Amino acid sequence: MKTLGEFIVEKQADYPNAKGELTGILSSIRLVAKVIHRDINKAGLTNNIIGNAGSENVQGETQMKLDIFAHETFKKALMAREDVAGFASEEEENFIAFDTQRGRNAKYVILTDPLDGSSNIDVNVAVGTIFSIYRRVSPIGTPVTLEDFLQPGHRQVAAGYVVYGSSTMLVYTTGNGVNGFTYDPSLGVFCLSHENIQIPQTGKIYSINEGQYLKFPMGVKKYIKYCQEEDKATNRPYTSRYIGSLVSDFHRNMLKGGIYIYPSATNYPNGKLRLLYEGNPMAFLAEQAGGLASDGFRRILDIQPTELHQRIPLFIGSKQMVEKTQDFMQQFSGE
């Protein structure tokens, strides 16, 4: 069976201008995934990695101990590489410029949500890591700038996620399809298990926190009712499945067919998920697998970011289902 390392090296020939830097970065992310996998699987045995950290991140959200651990693990692994010029994380207010000579000469910046769905850790529910890689736009030889991170998603060089569930799986794209690798802890390697993943064009699953129904836009309310109506011609009603971890919900829907929705609401009018750390990387994966990602009106990958922690609504998954939500959002946009 082909390992992730073998696959990365094999695909390096597709990017002759990268000169191996992207290969090295993906290898570092592979190592981070192994470290986080190890500690998540010890979460029930030790108290120093579960529970609240007693602090909040820049969004005002309670940080879990594993949030901080995953963030620091990512930062240390990337700082050790010569290929990374800077790093931005959902857990830190400002980006970090690796302001050494090799950092100034590096070509790439990394953005990450180190531990998506971390509130699920204490109850042994699947969580994930999301990452996004861009080629910097500032001159080589200088420290990175904010503009290097505020790039629209269609400029991503690579993106992916790791889902820590019944097995640990790393899924990524470099713009030539989506491939998934399952971790074999007995060998310490990720093995190619899901080659050229394709999202079904439609599905029977819709994933949304229906407890917030009264706060949603009218278009979302109408779509939820549409999902619940019986119609044999369109294979409805659909099934509601919501884990509360973007990575886990998206991963299931990508394999089985479905849509994940985190819309705007009266208590978060601009949406809640972050464009740079969650929206763009997952949208890149969705499109590369034949799906679609929208904020209800626009393609996610076309949005020009204006700040590091910019929030957005997110409709993502099977192409026909996302298009249907856009129809509802357009039709009821004034209500």
- The 10s digit of each residue's pLDDT in 310-328 is 999 999 999 999 999 999 9
The response to whether 278 counts as a known ligand-binding position is yes
Q: What is the pLDDT of residue 64?
A: 62
Residue 117 known to bind ligand: yes
Q: Reduced to 3 states, what is the DSSP secondary structure of residue 291?
A: coil
- 21 labeled part of a ligand binding site: no
Q: Are 108 and 21 in contact (CB under 8 A)?
A: yes
60 pLDDT exceeds 90?
Answer: no
Give the model's pLDDT for residue 14. 65
327 known member of a binding site: no
Please give the mean pLDDT across all residues of the chain: 89
User: Is 41 annotated for ligand binding?
Assistant: no
User: Residue 191 phi/psi, 5° resolution?
Assistant: -115, 140
User: CB 195: neighbour CB atoms within 10 A?
Assistant: 12
48 phi, psi to nearest 5 deg: -80, 0
List C-alpha distances in Å: 137 to 102, 236, 274: 17, 47, 21
Confidence at residue 119, expressed as pLDDT on a 0 to 100 scale: 73
Is position 148 annotated in a ligand binding site? Answer: no
- 179-192 tens-digit pLDDT: 999 999 999 999 99
Residue 179, marked binder: no
- In CATH, the architecture of 4-194 is 2-Layer Sandwich (3.30)
Buried b (16+ CB within 10 A) or exposed e, 118-143: bbbbeeeebbbbbbbbbbbebeeeee
**Of residues 256 and 43, which shows the higher confidence score?**
256
Region 205-331: CATH code: 3.40.190.80
Q: What span, in angstroms and rounded, lies between the C-alpha atoms of 112 and 294?
A: 20
Length of the chain, in residues: 335
**Residue 164, marked binder:** no
Q: Would the pLDDT of 26 be above 70?
A: yes
- Residue 61 annotated as binding? no
The pLDDT tens digits for 285-301 are 999 999 999 999 999 99
Grade residue 24 by pLDDT with cuts at 50, 70 and 90: confident
Residue 111 tokens, joined? 């953005």
The pLDDT tens digits of the residues spanning 155-177 come to 999 999 999 988 999 999 999 99
Considering the chain, tell me which residue range(s) the CATH 3.30.540.10 domain(s) occupy: 4-194
Query: Is residue 89 a known part of a binding site?
Result: no
Element spanning 89, H or E:
strand 84-89
pLDDT at site 9: 82
Mean pLDDT over 150-154 rounds to 98
- Percentage of the chain with pLDDT > 70? 90
CB 285 within 8 A of CB 247: no
Rounded average pLDDT over 106-134: 87
Which of 27-31, 256-260, 274-278 has the lowest average pLDDT? 27-31
245 labelled as ligand-binding?
A: no
- pLDDT tens-digit profile of 208-264? 999 999 999 999 999 999 999 999 999 999 999 999 899 999 999 999 999 999 999
Between CA 227 and CA 221 the distance in angstroms is 10
Q: Are 184 and 191 in contact (CB under 8 A)?
A: yes
CATH 3.40.190.80 domain extents, the chain: 205-331
- Average pLDDT over every residue of 261-274: 96
Rounded to whole angstroms, the Cα distance separating 279 from 311 reads 9
The arithmetic mean of pLDDT across residues 254-280, rounded, is: 97
Q: E strand or H helix at 7, and its extent?
A: helix 4-11
Record the pTM: 0.92
Contact 260, 277 (CB under 8 A): no
